[in-house]
Each structure stands twice: as structure tokens, then as C-alpha cells.
Structure 1
């Protein structure tokens, strides 16, 4: 991994931060990005002072910001060889109360973001002998869930993008794969539980149980499970794994 430069969107917390931590431990150079500057600073403090790690604040849904991100990351740590499209947002509302702004925001961050970042990464990867694009999607990209139509639509879009780009970029030695976790023990899930409590009057324990019941193993997925899969997809062992959608959900999507 010591020749890799890994760019991780949404890298300031949760899954993204764990992936950054694990790649650094393997000797890779890492750039994390996110919209919250304070959270990025906290993440960098957790990762430790190192020339191999850096951060950039920006919105992955903004075309100019994405170009600036890749320019800055490349100038600091060399061409990006592994892109992890992890940045994402969630939100819920019944269809009748779901606004177009809500729906458009889900698509902008969760689908347009991976598209913009993949487009920016693919050109240099192709010129430099190949690379890996890893999209962190969701079981919501494989099935439906009630009250999150915008989120589900955006994650289905990520799965479709993964499959299309895998075929298009295969001849350039670039693999494109997606990881589809079930509910994970992350700040995003904490926010989901809070929303359930507020909207239904259930206790936090009851709300958590609502999410856990989707997993046949009766637990939430841990961030290290996602990071392990990302490390493998970036390794030489996965050089022929392309266009795959890997569910990490305890069997929910079986």
C-alpha cells in the first residue's frame, strides 16, 4: 500500500475515518475531505501528525470544489490511485411531505458526488497505469425502504453508476466496485435513531431495535467491517473484482 494515494470523501467521521485510519496503517498516503472544517480538524488530530495524511474542506456535489480537491490532493501527495466515494447524507419523510429540495439534495450528495469525483479521478488513473474506485452505497441501493424514497433513489443510482463505470473503465486497468452496508454503528445511524424517537415517540432502545431487526444477525454493522472490505478491494488480490456490489448486511439482502 506504500505506493497508494487514497482519497476518501466524507472522511472526517464514521466509516470514512476508519477507512482512512486503516489505509494509513498499511503505509498509504491519505487525503480526507468533508464539508465541516472543525470535524476535519478533529479527524486529522485522531489520525496523527504525518506528511502522509491531509485534509481538504469542500462539497462533493459542487463541480468546482471537486476539481479543487483533486488538484490540491495531487499537488500534496501525488496522483490519486484509490478513490473511496464515502460522503453521503440521509433523511426521511413520507412521500406526500417529501420536498423536491430534499429529493434533489439526496441525489446531489449521494449520486452526483460519486459521479464528479470518479470523473475527476479516472483520467489521471488511466494515464498512470490504473486505479481503484470504491463506492460506499447501502442496502438501500439493493432494495426499498419506506419513508426514504430520496435516499433509496440516490443509492440505487450509485449502484448503477458503479456497474456502468466498471465496464467503461476496465480497459484502463481501473476497477469500480460498491460496498452496500446495512445499518452501521455510525453518527448517521445515531441521527436516524434520533429521528425515529422524535417522530414516533418510541424510546431510543426501541428505535435502535427497529434498525437491528433488519439484520438477520440481529446487530448493527461495525465500521471496521466496511474498512476491511475497502482495503481488500484496493489490494492486488482484488485486481479482477470489477463491477461488483458487495452487501455487508448480515444476510438482509439474501
Structure 2
């Protein structure tokens, strides 16, 4: 049975474009107050213009812990939190031998370290919510070894493991931790990394928003831990 999330407060990282923008717009349409987080104020403002409900935009460097702590301080001071969507991510493609340690660390900082800090620091806020939810946007790369994506795959494997362990830690607190793992999504990031699939059937950011909507509006005794989305060009399973 579908439940309402109207009036809930949601924080979405990477909200300036792509999946983050689509999820933010959808949650706003469902009546959530959304906090849009990203690196660039201009793109966040563009997302805010698409959201029919109450929005706040916060620029944040997710590779900098002090910036994340300031973000959480703002959330704490302005109304708490019900829904956390860790969506921001970067990719470094190419053969492993050509990826520098600095490039590897940058991917891990955005894709794993930032969600870790955000989940840790917002935990007390989520415990105070009547229906707390966390969605971590992962990738099918966490389950399948794609060539030339070793750093990205490592980060998504790590996010998957982090999410599973944390889900069991906070289950008794009523906090549900979900994963959405899409394949090739029609975004600028994917177009740069896999230009060969542009022009073929692609997952849309709105498809990921559909998955997020399902997870957040079907809170019952049945728990959906992970939703995987594949392009129709890939054989099932």
C-alpha cells in the first residue's frame, strides 16, 4: 500500500543534474521539503526552479569533512531530517595502471567517504524521525566487473558493503537503508565514460526517481533492500 511522504524533509546530494535532479524533483512533487546539495550554486538553482515545493540549496564540497559537517549543522538548525539520499558520485575511467593514487582517492572520497560521514553525522537526526529512510545510489558496477572502471567499481563495492552493514546496525532504530543500483543512465557523466552506448536504449534519471519513489512510499513489513536497474539491451540477470 502506498503511503504519503508529504511534509518529510529530504536531503539529496548531487542534486544539480542527472539522477539527483530527477529524484529531487520527484520528492518535491510528492510533498517533501527538499534540501539540494551540490558543488555549483547555479545548477542547484536550476533544479530548485523545477521543484514545486519548498526547497533550499546548499553548496558543499563533499570531499571536505568540514564542509559536510557545516551542511549537517545547517540541517540540524533548520528542521531536522527524514530522508537522506546519497547520490553524488564521480567516475575515473581507464586501465588501472593509468590511474594515479590521487585520482583513486578522489573517487573514494566522493563516492564512499562522503556517504559514510553523512550517515554518521545525520544518524541522531534520523533517529528522531518517525519514518527515517536512507537511499544510497550505487551501481550495477558494484556487482559486475566492467573493464576500465576499476576505481569506480571499487568505490561502489565499498558503498554497497557500507550500506549493508549500516542497515543492520540501525534496523532496530527503525531506519531503513536502501540501495538503488542502475546500469547506464542517460547523464553527462555516463556519456563521457561510455560514449559507445549513447544513442542506444538508456535508463533515464526519471527511472531512478521511480525506484526512489517506490522505496519511500511503500514502507511496510516488507523491506526492499536493493533495486537494480538494467538497460533493456542487457540480458536479464
Determine if the TM-score, normalized by the shorter chain, exceeds 0.5: yes
For 1:12 and 1:227, locate their aligned partners in 2 and report how far apart those are by CA, in whole Å.
14
CA deviations on 1:204-254 (whole Å, 9 max, x unpaired) are: xxx226x95xxxxxx210111110111121124356425x22211146571
Residue pair 1:84, 1:135 contacting (<8 A) in 2 also: yes
Larger radius of gyration: 1
| CA root-mean-square deviation | 1.9
For 1:160 and 1:54, locate their aligned partners in 2 and report how far apart those are by CA, in whole Å.
31
Where do residues 8-19 of structure 1 align in structure 2 (5 Å cutoff)? 8-19=12-23
Candidates 41, 44, 47, aligned match of 1:40: 44
Where do residues 114-193 of structure 1 align in structure 2 (5 Å cutoff)? 114-193=115-194
TM-score by length of 2: 0.90
CA deviations on 1:9-61 (whole Å, 9 max, x unpaired) are: 0011111111111111111100010112222222223336x5x1111000223
Residue pair 2:37, 2:57 contacting (<8 A) in 1 also: yes
Aligned to 2:207: 225
Alignment: residue pair count: 231
Residue pair 1:175, 1:239 contacting (<8 A) in 2 also: no
Residue pair 1:142, 1:253 contacting (<8 A) in 2 also: no
- State the 1:170 CA deviation: 0.2
SS in 1 for 2:219: helix
For 1:47 and 1:136, locate their aligned partners in 2 and report how far apart those are by CA, in whole Å.
20
Q: Which runs of 5+ in 1 are unaligned?
A: 197-206, 213-218
Residue pair 2:38, 2:60 contacting (<8 A) in 1 also: yes
Residue pair 1:61, 1:116 contacting (<8 A) in 2 also: no
SS in 2 for 1:237: coil
Aligned to 2:6: 2
CA deviations on 1:148-187 (whole Å, 9 max, x unpaired) are: 1100000001110110011000010000010000000112
Which structure features the higher share of helix residues? 1
Label 1:253 to 1:74 Cα distance change in 2 as closer, same or farther (>3 A).
Answer: farther
For 1:253 and 1:59, locate their aligned partners in 2 and report how far apart those are by CA, in whole Å.
38
Residue pair 1:59, 1:66 contacting (<8 A) in 2 also: yes
For 1:108 and 1:93, locate their aligned partners in 2 and report how far apart those are by CA, in whole Å.
18
Label 1:182 to 1:238 Cα distance change in 2 as closer, same or farther (>3 A).
Answer: farther
